[in-house]
């Protein structure tokens, strides 16, 4: 994934892995800022229940505003990958 570009986000480093995917550092080419990209693996995205859980996570993050919770900038899909764009 490192070095690839999805939509207008260029992936530069892996930040972590977990049960719902991987989180990468990326550069937003349009707004010229660094962001975190949480990618839902394709095999997980095929499970409609897990995809709905991912989308619920995005809506929940969008409803929160707190200094200890990363802001969400978007819920995206590009080249068959579903991902969240988050404050780094």
Q: How many alpha carbons lie under 13 Å from residue 68 in its C-beta half-sphere? A: 0
Contact 28, 43 (CB under 8 A): no
Decide: helix, strand or coil at residue 79: coil
Region 8-19: mean pLDDT is 94
Q: Which backbone phi and psi does 3 adopt, to 5 degrees? A: 95, -15
Confidence (pLDDT) at 72: 96
Confidence (pLDDT) at 80: 85
CA–CA gap between residue 22 and residue 83 (Å, rounded):
10
Write the pLDDT tens digit of every residue in 71-87: 999 999 988 899 999 99
CA–CA gap between residue 67 and residue 46 (Å, rounded):
33
Determine if the pTM surpasses 0.85. yes
Write the pLDDT tens digit of every residue in 41-81: 888 888 889 889 999 989 999 999 999 988 999 999 988 89
């Amino acid at each position: 994934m490192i070095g690839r570009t999805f939509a207008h986000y260029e992936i530069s480093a892996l930040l972590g892995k977990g049960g719902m995917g991987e989180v990468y550092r990326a550069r937003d080419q349009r707004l010229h800022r660094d962001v975190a990209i949480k990618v839902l693996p394709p095999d997980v995205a095929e499970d409609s229940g897990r995809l709905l859980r991912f989308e619920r996570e995005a809506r929940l993050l969008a409803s929160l505003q707190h200094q200890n919770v990363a802001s969400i900038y978007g819920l995206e899909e590009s080249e068959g990958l579903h991902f969240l764009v988050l404050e780094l």
